[in-house]
Amino acid sequence: MPVFYGTEVGSRLMLGTAQYPSPGILRDAFLRSGAGIATVSLRREGAGDGAGAAFWELIRDMGVPVLPNTAGCHSVREAVTTAHMAREYFGTDWIKLEVVGHEDTLQPDPFGLVEAARILSDDGFRVFPYTTEDGVLGGRLIEAGCEVLMPWGAPIGTGLGLNNIYGLRTLRAQFPDVPMVIDAGLGLPSQAAHAMELGFDAVLLNTAVARAGDPAAMAEGFALALRAGRLAFEADPMEPRDMAAPSTPQLGLAVLS
């Protein structure tokens, strides 16, 4: 199982907690999937009329480790301030760092991301940066103190899967000992299985489960796909080839004359 900042997590599936039709369905999705981490937005938690307190109580009752995030932050200052508020509220040094650089794609701002990661790492945070598959950016984030990388598969909420297989494979190979989580863009369990087959350690998703017709069933489907994909990776799969190769031995076949 993946280890993040010295802590082993009990599942390779990390689930978001937004957009579910009801708290009961959210709870069922976590139970059926066995998800190892719940990501929580401070904005969601801070809803008025007691909704935030009830939501936080639901998450605590599930017994799942919490990874607060800085979703929706567009500047270093905003992300750092939100991270400090999240640490005080949730009582954890873990933070999923998001610094949005493009409104339509929600692509991370690489310059702001590195700056915010350095500030937060220096302040004792355990930073999980939402980044792209750029290897240079990954290196800068590691230099800034990050011990985990969370490259996107595709833009958040699109369900497009793994858009840049070459880039993701290269990033994985460039930093073989760094835990990596595919974060965002997955829409189907098969896409999550592919991420595992490429050697990634976990996936984080929200929309694909929360917006499914049956979120709990979809969450379980992702969990099963992750197990299958990881087993395939660890089994050292065959390399693809251009030419056919017979699976039936040629020796001992009948010879007709």
Does residue 64 have a pLDDT over 80? yes
To the question of whether residue 223 is assigned a binding role by annotation, the answer is no
**Catalytic residue list contains 120:** no
Does residue 47 have a pLDDT over 80? no
What domains does the chain contain, in order, with CATH numbers?
3-235 (3.20.20.70)
Distances (CA, A) of 233 to 29, 35, 183, 196, 210: 26, 20, 19, 7, 28
What is the model's pLDDT at position 6?
94
Entry pTM:
0.89
Q: What is the pLDDT of residues 22-33, one digit of tens each?
A: 999 999 999 999
What is the model's pLDDT at position 163?
95
**At 188, is the secondary structure helix, strand, or coil?**
coil
* Burial (0-12, 13-18, 19+ Cβ within 10 Å), 80: buried
To the question of whether residue 185 is assigned a binding role by annotation, the answer is yes
Q: What is the pLDDT of residues 78-130, one digit of tens each?
A: 999 999 999 998 899 999 999 998 988 889 999 999 999 999 999 999 999 99
Of 87, 96, 126, 230, which is the active-site residue? 96
